[in-house]
Amino acid sequence: PSDGYQALPLVRAQLEAYGIEVRTAPTGQDAQLDVLGGAKLLWLETPSNPGLDVCDVRRLAEAAHARGALVAVDNTLATPLGQRPLELGADFAVASGTK
Protein backbone atom coordinates (compact mmCIF):
# COMPACT_ATOMS: atom_id res chain seq x y z
CA PRO A 1 0.00 0.00 0.00
CA SER A 2 1.13 3.54 -0.66
CA ASP A 3 -0.54 4.69 2.57
CA GLY A 4 0.55 1.92 4.91
CA TYR A 5 2.89 1.51 7.82
CA GLN A 6 5.84 3.91 7.78
CA ALA A 7 8.46 1.16 7.34
CA LEU A 8 7.01 0.08 3.97
CA PRO A 9 9.18 2.48 1.92
CA LEU A 10 12.25 0.79 3.46
CA VAL A 11 10.92 -2.63 2.49
CA ARG A 12 10.24 -1.33 -1.01
CA ALA A 13 13.81 -0.06 -1.35
CA GLN A 14 15.21 -3.41 -0.20
CA LEU A 15 13.05 -5.36 -2.66
CA GLU A 16 13.92 -3.04 -5.53
CA ALA A 17 17.62 -3.47 -4.71
CA TYR A 18 17.09 -7.16 -5.54
CA GLY A 19 15.46 -6.24 -8.84
CA ILE A 20 11.90 -6.83 -7.67
CA GLU A 21 9.35 -4.44 -9.14
CA VAL A 22 7.13 -2.90 -6.47
CA ARG A 23 3.93 -1.05 -7.33
CA THR A 24 1.86 0.78 -4.76
CA ALA A 25 -1.70 2.05 -4.53
CA PRO A 26 -3.83 3.60 -1.80
CA THR A 27 -5.82 1.22 0.38
CA GLY A 28 -9.18 2.94 -0.03
CA GLN A 29 -11.62 2.24 -2.85
CA ASP A 30 -9.76 -0.97 -3.82
CA ALA A 31 -7.22 1.05 -5.83
CA GLN A 32 -4.97 -2.02 -5.83
CA LEU A 33 -7.06 -3.38 -8.72
CA ASP A 34 -5.28 -0.90 -10.99
CA VAL A 35 -1.81 -2.34 -10.31
CA LEU A 36 -2.50 -6.09 -10.34
CA GLY A 37 -1.48 -6.86 -13.92
CA GLY A 38 1.49 -9.24 -13.86
CA ALA A 39 1.79 -9.17 -10.07
CA LYS A 40 3.02 -12.22 -8.17
CA LEU A 41 1.91 -10.98 -4.75
CA LEU A 42 -0.69 -8.50 -3.57
CA TRP A 43 0.17 -7.13 -0.13
CA LEU A 44 -2.74 -5.46 1.68
CA GLU A 45 -2.81 -3.58 4.95
CA THR A 46 -6.33 -3.10 6.17
CA PRO A 47 -7.15 -1.03 7.93
CA SER A 48 -4.17 1.00 6.83
CA ASN A 49 -1.85 2.44 9.43
CA PRO A 50 -2.14 5.29 10.30
CA GLY A 51 -5.05 6.41 8.05
CA LEU A 52 -7.43 3.54 8.90
CA ASP A 53 -8.56 3.19 5.27
CA VAL A 54 -10.10 -0.16 4.41
CA CYS A 55 -10.43 -2.28 1.29
CA ASP A 56 -12.57 -5.21 0.24
CA VAL A 57 -10.23 -8.13 0.97
CA ARG A 58 -12.55 -10.70 -0.64
CA ARG A 59 -12.92 -8.70 -3.87
CA LEU A 60 -9.19 -8.02 -4.13
CA ALA A 61 -8.26 -11.63 -3.32
CA GLU A 62 -10.57 -12.92 -6.04
CA ALA A 63 -9.13 -10.45 -8.56
CA ALA A 64 -5.54 -11.26 -7.60
CA HIS A 65 -6.11 -15.02 -7.75
CA ALA A 66 -7.77 -14.67 -11.17
CA ARG A 67 -4.49 -13.07 -12.34
CA GLY A 68 -2.33 -15.75 -10.70
CA ALA A 69 -1.14 -13.68 -7.74
CA LEU A 70 -1.00 -14.64 -4.08
CA VAL A 71 -2.51 -12.37 -1.43
CA ALA A 72 -1.00 -11.38 1.93
CA VAL A 73 -2.81 -9.21 4.46
CA ASP A 74 -1.23 -7.28 7.30
CA ASN A 75 -3.96 -7.70 9.89
CA THR A 76 -2.18 -5.91 12.75
CA LEU A 77 -4.74 -3.19 13.44
CA ALA A 78 -7.88 -5.25 12.91
CA THR A 79 -6.53 -8.34 14.69
CA PRO A 80 -8.17 -11.74 14.19
CA LEU A 81 -10.96 -10.53 16.47
CA GLY A 82 -12.06 -7.90 13.96
CA GLN A 83 -11.12 -9.44 10.62
CA ARG A 84 -10.16 -12.89 9.39
CA PRO A 85 -8.29 -12.44 6.11
CA LEU A 86 -7.85 -16.17 5.44
CA GLU A 87 -11.63 -16.61 5.51
CA LEU A 88 -11.88 -13.71 3.04
CA GLY A 89 -9.59 -15.42 0.53
CA ALA A 90 -6.11 -14.30 1.54
CA ASP A 91 -3.30 -16.82 1.26
CA PHE A 92 -1.31 -15.33 4.16
CA ALA A 93 -2.18 -13.20 7.17
CA VAL A 94 0.41 -11.46 9.31
CA ALA A 95 0.16 -9.30 12.39
CA SER A 96 2.55 -7.60 14.76
CA GLY A 97 2.31 -9.09 18.20
CA THR A 98 3.80 -5.95 19.77
CA LYS A 99 1.01 -3.54 18.86
Given a cut of 90, whether residue 97 has pLDDT beyond it is no
| C-alpha torsion sign, points 25, 59, 56, 9 | negative
Q: What is the pLDDT of residues 14-50, one digit of tens each?
A: 999 999 999 999 999 999 999 999 999 999 998 998 8
Architecture of domain 8-94: 3-Layer(aba) Sandwich (3.40)
What are the structural domain ranges in the chain?
8-94
Q: Give pLDDT, residue 85.
A: 97
Report the b/e string of 38-58 with b at 16+ CB within 10 A.
ebeebbbbbbbbeeebbbbbe
